[in-house]
Amino acid sequence: MTKDSVDINHFNRGKPFYPHILLYLATFHGIIELISRGVVKKVHNPKTSHPESEEEILKLSTKEKGNKFLMTASKSSFTPLIGKPSLRSKSPNNSIEIDTEILAQEFVENNAYLSEFYLKAGNNLLLAAYEATKEKHTHNELWEFLYHCRNAAAHNNIIDDKHKRLEKYNARWNKFDISKNIGKKLFQDNIESNGHFLDPADPIRLLWDIEQKLL
């Protein structure tokens, strides 16, 4: 592990962040798997008389520009699933089956729309991390940084300081300074956009630093 890297296995299981980090990473892993599955299905569909090339499908499904963190690797086949996943329900008292093939198709064909939501998945992680540690918060600049990120996550993905808290307390982390980024989007919400504050890996690194220094 290099000096500035973060190994998820090193998050302390007895501290608040570990389960939220795993769920966050599982979200992106699942999306990548679904996109890959949809790409493979589309590229190698024997019923298609003029199948699109793998390169064309990858560009279609990931919009390579501005979205390189979700680049997928297409393969000639995919591993069959063991059974069909389903969710139990008490109202009414039966399960909802999850059709993975339909999900994969949706992520490939409607990726431009869906990307707006999964690109902002870090909002959910920061909200959960903030709530899980509320009783430990002080006005340390890292906690203040998390506070402002949490507020942005809860208010349309936009960084603001309506209560002028930054006049009292610094909110900094590494090279990032909240006070210099008021009005910016916290996370990218469009695969063609830029100028956002954080990228998808940054919440993990932020929480790692908070755990090492403050928990």
Does residue 46 have a cis peptide bond before it, meaning omega lies within 30 degrees of 0? no
Residue 57 falls inside a structural domain: yes
Residue 168 falls inside a structural domain: yes
Q: In the block, which residue shows the tokens 């059709």?
A: 99
How open is the CA angle 138-142-143, to the nearest 5 degrees?
Answer: 35
- pLDDT tens digits for 40-78? 777 666 555 444 555 555 555 444 444 444 444 444 455
Whether 154 shows a pLDDT value over 50: the answer reads yes
Whether 206 shows a pLDDT value over 50: the answer reads yes
CB neighbours of residue 151 within 10 Å: 21
Same domain, yes or no, for 100 and 124? no
- Tally of domains in the chain: 2
Asked whether the beta carbons of 82 and 47 are under 8 A apart, the reply is no
> Among 11, 9, 1, which Cα is nearest to 207's?
11
**Residue 89 domain boundaries:** 19-111
Residue 3 falls inside a structural domain: no
Residue 81 falls inside a structural domain: yes
pTM of the shown model: 0.79
3-class DSSP assignment, residue 76: coil
3-class DSSP assignment, residue 34: helix
Same domain, yes or no, for 126 and 209? yes
Residue 135 falls inside a structural domain: yes
Q: How far apart are CA 20 and CA 206, in angstroms?
A: 13
Q: Which residue has the higher pLDDT, 5 or 174?
A: 174
Beta strand pairing call for 176-177 and 172-173: antiparallel
pLDDT at res. 59: 56
The percent of residues in the chain predicted with pLDDT above 70, rounded, is: 77
